[in-house]
Amino acid sequence: MTPTGLSMDVSTTAKRKVLISGASISGPALAYWLHRSGFAVTVVEKAGALREGGYPIDVRGTAIEVVRRMGILPQLQDAHIDLRRCTFLNADGSEVASLTPSAVAGGAEGHDIEVRRGDLAAILYAMVRDDVEFLFGDSIDTFDQSVQGVDVTFRSGQRRTFDLVVGADGMHSPTREYLFGPEARFHRYLGYCFAIFTMPNTLGLSREVMVWNTPGKAAALYAVGGHDNDEVHAFLNFHQPEPPLDALRNPDAQRDLVATIFAGAGWEVPGMVNAMRDAEDLFFDTAGQIRMPHWSSGRVVLVGDAAYAPSFLTGQGSSLALVGAYVLANALAANGDHTAAFAAYERDVREFVAMNQALVDSGAATLFPTTARALEQRNTTLRELVTMPPATARPAHSALELPEFAGYRRGSRVPGYDKRSVPPSGAAWARPVR
């Protein structure tokens, strides 16, 4: 039985065709669940191949249950970074405090997972690549909706018709722009810009993060491997009252902006800026959130960062993407009518999204103070944390209880999926935990 009391068997459901734009986290996760429900799924990704790289990301709370039901929890546990220490530094490189990661991030030690973003994307892709059509190096050019479906013209010139289109194309989603208008209408800028890239591990760091701060600036070196690991993730974050719109479209301007902001900084920062100049994997963006009154229009719907990016300051982007993909697929599996499905998706996941986006006001944002006074307060808090017991998980991460997936054939099994731990359907559907 589904949470709505409806008994679903995919063998009696007409095969609906879904096009997903974006093959990062939310796209392949949604493709997996839709395929399991009997949908014919196509994923179009503008990059020529699956995109690697990115800073390590967290999978937490409810999202852990999603990956467990997909049967990939053991793989993610193997890929878990197992960070040992976070060390905070003053402007001159002297130590403020050295802490366990869970004391800083408020995660549940031994339960949360932290993996390279590229590892998560690759594991998700491997789950679906044989069952789902992938169109790499292409993108949606235009689409027209009618009562029958969505007529899509691709950049490559190909034309096809789908029953539904999903924008899983990230914070700067072209699908959202096409459907709802300019990003500026939905973007809540949080006052920071950041640059991420890899560089040589010259300090010989091992499973640790070093974070250097001055008011309004932060530099971090993140070693996901042991001493023998040649590379570290470098992160330069800075306060900027207005978003640098021109730099967002111009990598050279991004490099110049970051170099200007960090000129004269201490510790390892000059070497980091030099490494950024040569980095081939520079990822530059603003810290911002996407907040929308609705996530769908007609036959087109948004998922993940495209609909509700929470920003890296919450550490919840990938978890929201995984949970949103599950809830959307479940709603489509349970409802033959896409309008009802999209309404159910919004109803059931919106409060969870809001709780997690709200973490930005209390969570990691406080790790990047913009004034000397706020920085000193932050440092005092960090020194106190050294002697405090480990924090427990923040409730927002786990604030959604997942229903049993509506699209399973009766009696079908997924490796690693244990139905017994799933809460009873019906009233338990999307019940917020406080």
Ligand X SMILES: Cc1cc2nc3c(=O)[nH]c(=O)nc-3n(C[C@H](O)[C@H](O)[C@H](O)COP(=O)(O)OP(=O)(O)OC[C@H]3O[C@@H](n4cnc5c(N)ncnc54)[C@H](O)[C@@H]3O)c2cc1C
Four-residue CA torsion sign, 124, 285, 171, 289: positive
113 conformational bin, left if phi > 0, alpha if psi -120 to 50, beta if neither: beta
Which among 45-53, 239-247, 346-354, 407-415 is the span making contact with ligand X, rule CB under 6 A?
45-53
Indicate whether 128 belongs to the interface with ligand X (CB under 6 A).
no
Residues 317-336, interacting with ligand X (CB under 6 A): 317-318, 321
Indicate whether 196 belongs to the interface with ligand X (CB under 6 A).
yes
- Give me the residue whose beta carbon is nearest to ligand X: 304
Cα separation, 112 vs 185, whole angstroms: 34
Indicate whether 116 belongs to the interface with ligand X (CB under 6 A).
no
Q: Pick from 320, 331, 332: which is nearest to 356 by CA?
A: 320
93 conformational bin, left if phi > 0, alpha if psi -120 to 50, beta if neither: left
* Alpha carbon 249 to chain centroid, angstroms: 21
Q: From the CB of 114, what's the least distance to ligand X, in Å?
A: 12
Indicate whether 53 belongs to the interface with ligand X (CB under 6 A).
yes
What would the x/- binding string for ligand X be over residues 275 to 304, using CB under 6 A? Answer: --------x--------------------x
* The pair of three-digit structure tokens given for residue 291, joined into one six-digit string: 């907040």
Residue-wise DSSP of 95-144:
EEEEE-HHHHH---TTT-EEEEHHHHHHHHHHHHTTTSEEEET--EEEEE
Indicate whether 363 belongs to the interface with ligand X (CB under 6 A).
no
Distances (CA, A) of 330 to 30, 38, 64, 348, 349: 10, 12, 17, 11, 12
Indicate whether 38 belongs to the interface with ligand X (CB under 6 A).
no
Residues 5-24, interacting with ligand X (CB under 6 A): 21-24
The answer to whether residues 67 and 76 touch, using CB atoms and an 8 Å cutoff, is yes
Which among 310-318, 357-365, 393-401, 408-416 is the span making contact with ligand X, rule CB under 6 A?
310-318
Amino acid at 393: A
Distances (CA, A) of 83 to 35, 109, 168, 186, 379: 35, 11, 30, 35, 21
Indicate whether 113 belongs to the interface with ligand X (CB under 6 A).
no
Considering the complex, state which of residue 42 and residue 102 has its C-beta at the smaller distance from ligand X.
42
Which among 54-62, 207-215, 244-252, 255-263 is the span making contact with ligand X, rule CB under 6 A?
54-62
Which among 178-186, 271-279, 314-322, 342-350 is the span making contact with ligand X, rule CB under 6 A?
314-322
Indicate whether 139 belongs to the interface with ligand X (CB under 6 A).
yes
Among 38, 101, 107, 170, binds ligand X (CB under 6 A): 170
Footprint of ligand X (CB under 6 A):
21-27, 44-47, 51, 53-55, 57, 117, 139, 168-171, 174, 196, 283, 304-306, 312, 317-318, 321
